[in-house]
Structure 1
Amino acid sequence: MMKQEPVAPKKFTGYHATAIIVTFFGVVIAVNLLMASFAVSTFGGTVVDNSYVASQKYNEWLEEGRKQASYGWSVSKVARVQGKASITVLDADKTIFDGATVSATAIHPVGRADPVTLDFVQDDTGNYISRDILPEGRWKLRIKIKRGDKEMALIQDIL
């Protein structure tokens, strides 16, 4: 049996320390660049363009909401029916809501598609169905319902 000579451990030099530090910061910078590129490529915009102006209009928006609530209209969640948007609106006494003009602007939540304008017609059951097909995907609908001198505005998501 041969005796093995003990192997001397390698010395830790300044080159090793430099390589570890450079590698560490290289990984940190690479991850930061990757995360920044994801953030920039997926951010679709702002909630409001100017928060100060929005804060000044807040009380007006509350008053409009109270006024709309006083109508007593009931609005269902928007649904897809054969590719079109469908919404049910009921009057204060829960009857079919006749004679209204319903329109919507469909906005892609991350701005990857142009807005789509939708006009609705009332079907035999009293539901309002968009004339045009809404493209697949998730959309934010800014809906306007008008009958006589009363108008309601609301926002709903549709998948």
Structure 2
Amino acid sequence: MSNSLPARRFTGWHMTAILVAFFAVVIAVNVLMATVAVRSFGGTVVENSYVASQRFNGWLAAARAQDGLRWKDGVATDGARHVVLTLGSGAGAPVRGGTVKALAQHPLGRVADIPLAFREAAPGRYVSEAALPPGRWRVRLDVWHGGSEQHLLREID
């Protein structure tokens, strides 16, 4: 006498249900991943890739000119969350009398961009007039001094 349980057989209906459930899970995961990817993308890299490609050599020349300045910079926030830019020449002297403007952008694009104007608080030390909300920010700084310009992109917390 055998004490074993009878073998269970999957019918065509069972196999169909298993396949449908499997593909339903795969489709649900794909829809979730696509939704998260679309909602977390912060914006367009360039508006028109052809126009950007035509300007590429000009951007390279501007980058070489900027590197030739040999300016040294430091970007941080003070206790009140104002952005502080410290700017020095290659020889270590402060870069005085510059004009600085910036745009603070949230890395994920979920908070509106914040334009920043700066004043020179001390020689070579520029402080934003507006403070940033807490969090991580990408700051695009434009500095003009004596006919030269510098464009910086810095991450700050």
TM-score, normalised by the number of residues in structure 1: 0.88
The ranges of structure 1 where at least 4 consecutive aligned residues each deviate by more than 3 angstroms after the TM superposition are: 3-7
Cα deviation 1:25-47 (Å, max 9, x = unaligned): 11111111111111111111232
The aligned counterpart of 1:88 is 86
Is 1:49–2:37 an aligned residue pair? Answer: no
The aligned counterpart of 1:67 is 65
Larger radius of gyration, structure 1 or 2?
1
Q: CA deviation at 1:119?
A: 1.3
Q: CA deviation at 1:72?
A: 2.7
Equivalent residues of 2:95, 2:123 under 8 A apart = no
Q: Distance in 1 between matches of 2:132 and 2:117?
A: 11
Question: Which letter maps to 2:110?
Answer: R
Q: Distance in 2 between matches of 1:6 and 1:74?
A: 81
Question: Which letter maps to 2:27?
Answer: I
Is 1:117–2:125 an aligned residue pair? Answer: no
Residue from 96, 102, 105 that aligns with 2:103? 105
Q: Which runs of 5+ in 1 are unaligned?
A: none
The aligned counterpart of 1:30 is 28
> CA RMSD for the aligned pairs?
1.8
Q: CA deviation at 1:4?
A: 6.8
Q: Which runs of 5+ in 2 are unaligned?
A: none
TM-score, normalised by the number of residues in structure 2: 0.89
Is 1:13–2:2 an aligned residue pair? Answer: no
Higher percent of residues as strand: 2
Number of aligned residue pairs: give it. 156
Q: Distance in 1 between matches of 2:21 and 2:155?
A: 46
